[in-house]
Structure formats: structure tokens, C-alpha cells
């Protein structure tokens, strides 16, 4: 018999970077975890150590198709999240966000589950407000090369709130800002994984633009903690809520940190800035602090050390 506190938790995108960390934390808490992933960007390697756990189950499935399972809680993380991957098949990316949201919301409605949507800071586009607050509607190019991801996530948020208004579904929406840590895909094209792999290989560190654009970097353990705290809030709290580290760094500062920590002699080279790449990205986390009692704890230096140690030997 399942313990009174043991829940059946479905994690879509569970073999991905964030999903695999979330699955581990849920298992540590004593829950029964169903990991669903089509392995487009997720990998079996990310969850291989979990396969022998009797409370863990892996199902290869694409969320653009309906799923008929039982669950008490659903974390909907399924969607390629790096430009290299989501721009490779933009139509499928939009389908994953939109059809995936419809299918998971339909499942949550049927089984009366609480459901969390992993949205993104990309809903703000190239923001004209800094730092970004949840009531900011964004500055998004609807027809640009990043729109498949940006608009797909925006539409998913719309669906979540319509299900909440129309069916009183128990929803949570989190907007994830730049997150990094072990189990990142080495070839995902994101700035942290790019810089680390290039430095470890002794290749030039590629900066797009002059490196003055800013990002805020949240370590993965902090982000997973925020997911869990959000899911534990009462039904009256739906979000959206920004989750990220409010401390800003320029891209060039990040490159210098990586070079210092790896001891690499790689040179820094500049390339043209991609279209619609935001110049500033930083969350206002006042809502997360007040409602969740959450703030990131891991400093960039410590997080980079742990991430570099994981990448070393895999690069």
C-alpha cells in the first residue's frame, strides 16, 4: 500500500536536463515517479541510475499525442529549450508546447490532478522592462526564428489559465530563467554548456555580439527546489511566477569565469548576434520570495565548479 504522503507524479520531459533532476528529487521525497519523454533532446543516460528504483518508471512517449495514465500531480516540462534544438523543427516545437499542453491539461482534468507548466523567460521576448516582472506582457517577434518557442510557451500559458477559469483546474505556471548544472546537453548551444565544452577542448570561446548582453544564471538544485515549493502552494496561487537568479552577469564575465575555473588557454572570439537575441534578461523574483519563501542559494562560482566537474571527462 502506498503511504499517505506518497504521490503518483508524472514528469513529462523527465529524461531531460531539468526533468531528470526533478525525478531524482521526487524519488528522494518518497514519491512514485512516471518519467515520460520521447528522447528528442532527453537521454537515457540522464536517468540510467534511476531505472533500478522500484518507484521509478520510464515511458517513451510524445506529448503531442494523448496519454492515459493515473497521476496525482503533473509537471509538464516537455519541450526542446535551446535554440539549436527548437529551431531544428520549429513546427514540432510549437506542437509540443501547444498540443502537449492540451493533452496534459486534458489528463489533469480527467484524473483531477494538480498540474505545473514549465514556461520560460522567453515569453518576455527582448524585454523593454528591466528586470522583468510577471505583469509585463513582453516584447516578442511573432514571426521570427525564435517564435516557435516563445509563442508556443505563451499559448501554453493561455491554455493553462483558460482551463483554470473554465474548469477550475488546479494549475501552477512558472517562468524559468537561465538554468545550468550537471546533465545539461553538451551540444545544446546554450551559453554555459558552450563555454565549458569549448574551454575544456581548448577551442575558441564563442561570444555573440560584444559580450555586453546580460543573463542571470540559476543553479539546477535551486530551480528544482522552486518547482517543488510552487507545487506545494495552495490552490489559490496559480502564478505565473518568475524563477531564476536576479544577479546579472555579462556574457563576457561568464566567459572569463569559465576560463579561470577550467584553466583553459582558449581565446575569446566574437561573432554576429543572432536575430531577436535579448540584450538583457533578469528576473524580478519578489513574488517567489514572498509566496514561496524561495531565493537561489548557489553562487555562480560554486555552480560552475560543479558543472565543469560533470562535463570534464564527457567532453
pLDDT surpasses 70 at 4: no
- Cβ atoms < 10 Å from Cβ of 130: 15
> Is the link from the previous residue into 131 a cis peptide, with omega within 30 of 0?
yes
- Cα 302 to chain centroid, rounded: 20
Mind telling me the catalytic residues?
Answer: 149
Question: What is the dihedral sign for C-alpha 9, 166, 232, 118?
Answer: positive
CB distance 10 to 103 below 8 Å: no
CA distances in angstroms from 62 to 40, 97, 151, 168, 252, listed in the order given: 9, 11, 20, 26, 38
pLDDT of 1? 35
pLDDT of residue 106: 98
The model scores a pTM over 0.75 = yes
**Domain residue limits, the chain:** 8-179+218-245+283-297
Q: Identify any residues that bridge with 76 across adjacent strands, giving them in sequence order.
A: 12, 117
Sign (positive/negative) of CA torsion 298, 173, 66, 10? positive
Give CA–CA dist 205/123, Å, rounded.
28
Q: For residue range 294-309, what is the model confidence (pLDDT) as tens digits? A: 999 999 999 999 999 9
Distance of CA 115 to the CA centre of its chain: 16
296 against 89, higher pLDDT: 296
Q: Which CATH number fits domain 8-179+218-245+283-297: 3.40.50.720, 2.70.98.40, 3.20.20.210, 3.20.20.70?
A: 3.40.50.720
Q: What is the pLDDT of residues 186-244, one digit of tens each?
A: 888 889 999 999 999 999 999 988 888 888 999 999 999 999 999 999 999 999 999 99
**pLDDT tens string 264-300:** 999 999 988 777 667 788 999 999 999 999 999 999 9
154 confidence band (pLDDT: 50, 70, 90): very high
Amino acid at each position: 500500500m502506498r503511504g499517505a504522503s506518497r504521490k503518483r507524479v508524472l514528469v513529462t520531459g523527465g529524461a531531460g536536463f531539468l526533468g531528470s533532476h526533478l525525478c531524482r528529487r521526487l524519488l528522494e521525497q518518497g514519491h512514485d515517479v512516471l518519467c515520460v519523454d520521447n528522447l528528442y533532446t532527453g537521454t537515457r543516460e540522464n536517468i540510467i541510475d534511476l531505472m533500478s528504483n522500484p518507484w521509478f518508471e520510464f515511458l517513451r512517449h510524445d506529448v503531442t499525442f494523448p496519454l492515459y495514465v493515473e497521476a496525482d500531480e503533473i509537471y509538464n516540462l516537455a519541450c526542446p529549450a535551446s535554440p539549436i534544438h527548437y529551431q531544428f523543427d520549429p513546427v514540432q516545437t510549437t506542437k509540443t508546447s501547444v498540443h502537449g499542453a492540451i493533452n496534459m491539461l486534458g489528463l489533469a482534468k480527467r484524473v483531477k490532478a494538480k498540474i505545473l507548466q514549465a514556461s520560460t523567460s522567453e515569453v518576455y521576448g527582448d524585454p523593454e522592462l528591466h528586470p522583468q516582472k510577471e505583469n509585463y506582457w513582453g516584447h516578442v517577434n511573432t514571426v521570427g526564428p525564435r517564435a516557435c518557442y516563445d509563442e508556443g510557451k505563451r499559448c501554453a500559458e493561455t491554455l493553462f489559465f483558460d482551463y483554470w477559469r473554465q474548469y477550475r483546474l488546479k494549475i501552477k505556471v512558472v517562468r524559468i530563467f537561465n538554468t545550468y548544472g550537471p546533465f545539461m546537453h553538451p551540444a545544446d548551444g546554450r551559453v554555459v554548456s558552450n563555454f565549458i565544452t569549448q574551454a575544456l577542448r581548448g577551442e575558441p570561446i564563442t561570444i555573440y555580439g560584444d559580450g555586453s548582453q546580460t543573463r542571470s544564471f540559476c543553479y539546477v538544485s535551486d530551480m528544482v527546489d522552486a518547482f517543488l515549493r510552487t507545487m506545494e502552494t495552495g490552490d489559490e496561487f496559480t502564478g505565473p511566477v518568475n524563477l531564476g537568479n536576479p544577479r546579472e552577469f555579462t556574457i563576457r564575465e561568464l566567459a572569463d569565469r569559465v576560463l579561470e575555473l577550467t584553466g583553459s588557454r582558449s581565446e575569446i572570439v566574437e561573432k554576429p548576434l543572432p536575430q531577436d537575441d535579448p540584450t538583457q534578461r533578469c528576473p524580478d523574483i519578489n513574488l517567489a520570495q514572498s509566496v514561496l519563501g524561495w531565493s537561489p542559494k548557489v553562487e555562480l562560482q560554486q555552480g560552475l565548479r560543479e558543472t565543469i566537474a560533470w562535463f570534464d571527462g564527457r567532453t
